Structures are given as structure tokens and as C-alpha cells.
Amino acid sequence: MRFVTAGALVNELLLARAELRVPKLLRFYGIFDLVLVDELGYVPFSREAAQLLFEFFSDRYETRATALTTNLPFAQWTRVFGDETMTVGLLDRLTHRSHVLLLNGESYRLKESRRRTTSPKHTDPQAPEGGDKTP
């Protein structure tokens, strides 16, 4: 299994294209039974980056498992990929024979952040005078 953010994956793909080694990078990712691509849709991609991601997901289609996390509904993916035809083709491949899990509710990170900021401060007995520390 390999975990990668969408941004890091795009950077890897763009560098591989510049160095003419995209097929080699795709073979590298092909060794993983599962690739988890996190944070898809946080930042729109350039046309070149979107095409490379399409190639990446197409290469894994029906051969290896791919999991994605995103905060965007499918209807908004065109804004990320910039091309309606490519987005429809990508969604077709990603959703075919897949399980789509829609998770609603408060973000875990936001919930933890709120918990930390509302918890009372405690005094560290090892700290110098006035050395309150927040965990």
C-alpha cells in the first residue's frame, strides 16, 4: 500500500514527464496493491497535471485498487480537472466497480483543534515561574 497526497503525486508525475520517465513511475506505482490518494480537489490542477492524473488513474483501472479522499462532490470535479470530457472519463473509471463512501459530519482535524483550544491550560511543574503549558 502507498499513501500520497494528490499534490505530491502531481509533482512526481510532472517531474517524471520532464525527465521522460512517466512509464517508469507508473510501473513503480503498479507494484502497490492499493494507492491511497489524499486531498484530491483542494487545489485545481493545470491541464498538464490533470492529464497526467488521468493517465495515472487509467493505468491502475481494473488492475490495482485506488482509494481517494476528497471534500468535493463529483459535480464539482470539473473545476479541479478543468476539462469536462476528461473529468467524465476519469469519474467513469474511478466509480466503475467501486464503493463510494460519503462521510458527513465535522472534520476530525477541526474537532481535535477545537478540543485543544478549549481544554484548560495546565501548569508544568518543571517549567520556570509562570510556565503554563498547553498540551
Burial 35-46 (b: 16+ CB within 10 A, else e): bebbbbbeeebe
Which sign, positive or negative, has the C-alpha torsion 68, 71, 74, 76?
A: negative
pLDDT, residue 134, reads 47
- Total residues belonging to the chain: 135
pLDDT tens sequence across 85-117 = 999 999 999 999 999 998 888 877 788 888 888
**Would you state the pLDDT for residue 119?**
73
Ranges of the chain with pLDDT below 50: 131-135
Q: Which domains does the chain have, with CATH numbers?
A: 2-108 (3.40.50.300)
**Taking the model in full, what pTM does it have?**
0.79
CB 133 within 8 A of CB 124: yes
